[in-house]
């Protein structure tokens, strides 16, 4: 496995040998981990069923679930999905950025059925990380990319975490350093009459509802909400157990703190990490997966997590923590 360090700031990468090599691998149907602003993605050519099958094999995903296809622009997205006025409004406001739109798929789209799990819809997103947009533009095809971690495990926000989890199963990793947002994209389905929030994520619900002037609906039924790793009860799971809304730290526990004041028992914790000592939810989202990995490595049997407010990015953080705390036997749908 190769690691290609690439400066995230430029917008052109033609002269970069790492970029060229990563592109060659993707064009050949190989797997490359790519940075996005949310988490690292395990990318493959979305139009190649062989390449996409490789993603499921590397992740050991229990089932074939729909993947997000990453494109470089709304214009590129419109080749694959149908954008009504609402979808276009959201794309124009939040792309590039941590929002995935599930829209009706165009029959002319070359995205393979394995990437969409045979659904009549397609999940599309334009990532904020320039190198990943440049890769899909240069490839001339969308990149299917779930989070670059083994199925059910903590999402990777650094190239080191990707390497530790997927190592020799992939051709290489484009390393742009830690991902700035830290939780996955918000997923909104624009399919029926009402926009549906399928997954809270890096764009707070309130920002979307304010733009649309209406509340986002909750998923109603199985058709709205296909069984998928990001939506399974148990997901993002460390080896340690997870105890939510902890008001104290018990013997043998590690502490995932939030805010300036630590609870009783914190002095005796096996390890302590603070999502944000200032109580800032944006900082907490960015730190979430990395600190969960660090506390898990402490060997504690349980990670006690202090209460996290539910506003703004807190909804996505609480969603990921609830899945990390869920019973592990629910892992296989
Ligand atoms: O931030 C992110 O979204 C990251 C980065 C790499 O882009 N990707 C990510 O992918 O989190 P993944 O595969 O872990 O989660 C994709 C989610 C799944 O829960 C899946 O059900 C949903 O997107 N999804 C994709 N296409 C869909 C569709 N057509 N209908 C409903 N849900 C869909
Ligand atoms: Mg994931």
Beta pairing class for 143-144 and 99-104: unpaired
CATH of domain 241-330: 3.40.50.11030
Assigned superfamily of 2-182? DHBP synthase (3.90.870.10)
C-beta of residue 270 within 8 angstroms of C-beta of residue 287: no
Q: Which of 126, 147, 123, 125 is nearest to 198 (CA)?
A: 123
Res 222: pLDDT: 52
Mutation probe of ligand 1 site: the residue of 129, 230, 232 with most atoms within 8 A of C-beta: 230
8/134 Cα distance (integer angstroms): 11
199/225 Cα distance (integer angstroms): 9
CA angle 172, 173, 176 (to 5 degrees): 155
Residue 85 has pLDDT above 60, yes or no: yes
* Range(s) within the chain of domains with CATH label 3.40.50.11030: 241-330
Going from the Cα of 190 to the center of ligand 1, the distance in angstroms, rounded, reads: 14
Question: Binding site annotation covers 36?
Answer: no
Pocket of ligand 1 (CB under 6 A): 36, 38-39, 41, 65-68, 98, 100, 102, 116, 119, 121-123, 125, 145-147, 184-185, 187, 198-199, 226, 228-231
pTM score, whole prediction? 0.91
* Range(s) within the chain of domains with CATH label 3.90.870.10: 2-182
C-beta of residue 204 within 8 angstroms of C-beta of residue 99: no
**pLDDT tens per residue across span 14-51:** 889 999 999 999 999 999 999 999 999 999 999 999 99
Q: Is the ipTM of this complex over 0.85?
A: yes
146/238 Cα distance (integer angstroms): 18
Residue 333 has pLDDT above 50, yes or no: no
Q: Report the nearest-CA residue for atom 10 of ligand 1.
A: 146
CA neighbours closer than 13 Å in the CB half-sphere of residue 227? 10
Residues 324/222/37/206 CA torsion (nearest 10 deg): -90
**pLDDT tens per residue across span 161-212:** 999 999 999 999 999 999 999 999 999 999 989 999 999 999 999 999 999 9
Res 200: pLDDT: 97
Question: Binding site annotation covers 185?
Answer: yes
Mean pLDDT of the region 277-294? 96
């Amino acid at each position: 496995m190769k690691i290609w360090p690439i400066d995230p700031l430029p917008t052109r990468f033609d002269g970069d040998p790492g970029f060229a090599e990563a592109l060659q691998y993707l064009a050949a149907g190989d797997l490359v981990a790519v940075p996005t602003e949310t988490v690292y993605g395990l990318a493959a050519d979305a139009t190649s069923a062989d390449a996409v099958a490789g993603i499921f094999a590397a992740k050991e995903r229990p089932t074939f679930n729909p993947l997000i296809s990453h494109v470089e622009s709304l214009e590129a997205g419109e080749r694959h999905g149908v954008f009504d006025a609402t979808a276009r409004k959201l794309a124009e406001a939040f792309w590039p950025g941590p929002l995935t739109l599930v829209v009706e798929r165009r029959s002319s789209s070359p995205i393979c059925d394995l990437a969409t799990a045979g659904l009549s819809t397609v999940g599309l997103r334009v990532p904020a990380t320039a190198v990943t947009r440049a890769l899909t533009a240069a490839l001339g095809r969308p990149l299917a990319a779930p989070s670059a971690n083994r199925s059910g495990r903590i999402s990777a926000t650094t190239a080191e975490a990707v390497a530790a989890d997927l190592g020799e199963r992939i051709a290489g990793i484009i390393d742009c350093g830690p991902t700035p947002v830290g939780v996955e994209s918000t997923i909104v389905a624009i399919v029926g009459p009402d926009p549906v929030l399928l997954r809270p994520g890096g764009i707070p619900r309130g920002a979307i509802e304010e733009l649309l002037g209406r509340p986002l609906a909750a998923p109603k039924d199985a058709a709205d909400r296909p069984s998928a790793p990001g939506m399974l009860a148990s997901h993002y799971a460390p080896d340690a157990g997870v105890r939510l809304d902890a008001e104290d730290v018990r013997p043998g526990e590690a502490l995932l703190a939030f805010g300036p004041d630590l609870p009783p028992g914190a002095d005796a914790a096996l390890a302590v990490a603070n999502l944000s000592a200032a109580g800032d939810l944006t900082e907490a989202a960015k730190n979430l997966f990395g600190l969960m990995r660090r506390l898990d490595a402490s060997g504690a049997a349980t990670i006690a997590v202090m209460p996290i407010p539910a506003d703004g990015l807190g909804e996505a953080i609480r969603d990921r923590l609830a899945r990390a705390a869920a019973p592990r036997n629910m892992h296989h749908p």
